[in-house]
Amino acid sequence: MCGIVGYVGPRAALDVVVEGLRRLEYRGYDSAGVAVVSQGRQFLTKKAGKIANLDKALAESSLPRTGLGLGHTRWATHGAPNDVNAHPHLSANGRVALVHNGIVENYARLREELAREGITCVSETDTEVVAQLLGLQVEAGVPLDQAMRAVCVRLQGAFTLVATDSENPDVVVAARRNSPLVVGVGDGENFVASDVAAFIEYTREAIELGQDQVVQITRDGVEVTTFDGLPADVRGYHVDWDLSAAEKGGYDWFMRKEIFEQPKAVADTLLGRHDADGKLTLDELRISDAELRTIDKIVIIACGTACYAGLVAKYAIEHWTRIPCEVELASEFRYRDPIVGPTTLVVAISQSGETADTLMALRHAREQRARVLAICNTNGSTIPRESDAVIYTHAGPEVGVASTKGFLTQLVACYLLGLYLAQVRGTKFDDEIRATMRELESMPAAISDVLSDIDTVMQLAADFVDAPSVLFLGRHVGYPVALEGALKLKELAYIHAEGFAAGELKHGPIALIEDQLPVFVVIPPQGRDMLHDKVVSNLQEVRARGARTIVLAEVDDDEVTPYADVMIRLPKVSTLLQPLVAIIPLQIFACELASRKGHDVDQPRNLAKSVTVE
């Protein structure tokens, strides 16, 4: 949450920072602000609301076009989203400008300490407390980087901080603990930001910062130290996508673009996953095969959409490996004294690699000596760095707050993990694994088929634009699809939506069924034991009570036709892989319905893309 940009170089910092904030607005859009240093002063403009409000304020009173500045787009935690609480914040002496992502948990005590020093904070934020502490340090003659280290060791909680000092117009200083920060390395210019998207227009060379580190950037260099002032080891990397990947490309919404990028995202995630002999190879998996053979339990930890990907993975992993697999909400995991140990594999799924709840759960698992594997889309982020192994998805940038291609590529990574474990442990024959891999590699074409025939779904959005509630039903791997379909609708359309295991319908939720209530039903592929027939029975139950049934079923499944008010046809795929195609119409429906209701599809209210606070 919150987007941060800092810049030093020959360009106008104002232009660089504001454009960077536009690309980070998915991280928060309660307010935005910028500060630049010129002639020994901090010049600052900030406004509540989206960046468009900041643009208007800057047009009315532009800031100096100097080469040092920082900016922030906010997802509010402490203090209401208004002009006063917007970042950047200034120290009482006006020298320090500061932006912040995260939560300073001991800010109240520090605020009281400042009051005793005669300093009154003007905002309700925890951020201003840090700005005031830095101001006291630099006023006493302490250089900004040293001041940052001295203040950081006093702070409790999770934070990324970026600061400038008006009397040192050549330096930006930043720090991180449990919150994302990346350095962009340019030619005669350098950047800091929450995400590489902020500076991808200027450089694709980046440095990942470790935990409890401070970075000082100038035009000519980057210096990284620990909070204790010791030199820190850093690792650079090359960003493998460019600016065009983060642009809309003619689509009205980033989310719609990302839905249509899913065939490529799935294909990219599958690239290079087997050798010439057809054996699966997961190069990023830094856990030995011998260790994997000792695993007797798998625990998947994740939040939101990633958790639903984990629920699908449970079915596949248990079926292919016969290892018990649990799926836990990361926000609950460490609070119930979970039973994990050296023979437990904990799988942490996070698109951003910075999800605070998942990171804290991961650390708890490691304290219990469990092995941790991350599934992540962001190279250099915290969760893969703190894990024993990682499977990177290759979705490219996902700007829309509601995840789409992130979900599909997480599913693919989970399938790869399950198949690799089956290969290592000998629970599936090699020809069976190769057959499943061949089907996985055919999925981009199957997804494209669904995307080429969306007229029915688009019409449904028009028909149900005023519907107050929508239900989703599924069984087996269709149940997590139902949950994800409902989540997308809640996120984007702001209406009541629920996903249910279809077999649980008669145990209470059937009371919700009323005349003309839209109910989406995910029908399993034909021939899957009795599963198909069971869901057809559930379909009949809701239709008999007046629901309007929208049925997702295989192209040749004529058995369900009499019970469907609307049919959405899916390609023929095996049961475990069906979520890869079944979720597509539900994503499109949520996107189109929200658009028709006049909502901001890419930036739904109260949400942000990367949840970096617990």
Q: Which residues are catalytic?
A: 2, 609
How far CA 1 is from CA of 139, 158, 262, 438, 612, in Å, comes to: 31, 12, 24, 38, 5
Kindly write down the DSSP assignment for every residue of 208-265, as one continuous string: E--TTEEEEE-SS-EEEEETTS-B---EEEE-SS-GGGGS-TT-SSHHHHHHHTHHHH
3-state helix, strand, coil in the chain (%, to 5): 40, 25, 35
Task: Of 119, 174, 102, give the one whose Cα is nearest residue 144.
Answer: 174
SS3 assignment, position 101: strand
Beta pairing class for 68-74 and 222-226: unpaired
The CA distance from 114 to 119, in Å, is: 5
Phi, psi angles (nearest 5°) of residue 72: -155, 135
SS3 assignment, position 31: strand
Task: Of 405, 5, 407, give the one whose Cα is nearest residue 172.
Answer: 5
Task: Of 301, 273, 309, 315, give the one whose Cα is nearest residue 410.
Answer: 309
**Widest pairwise Cα distance in the chain:** 80
Structure tokens given for 293: 């053979």
CA dihedral 338, 341, 344, 350 (to 10 degrees): 60
- The distance from CA 464 to its chain's CA centroid, rounded to whole angstroms, is 29
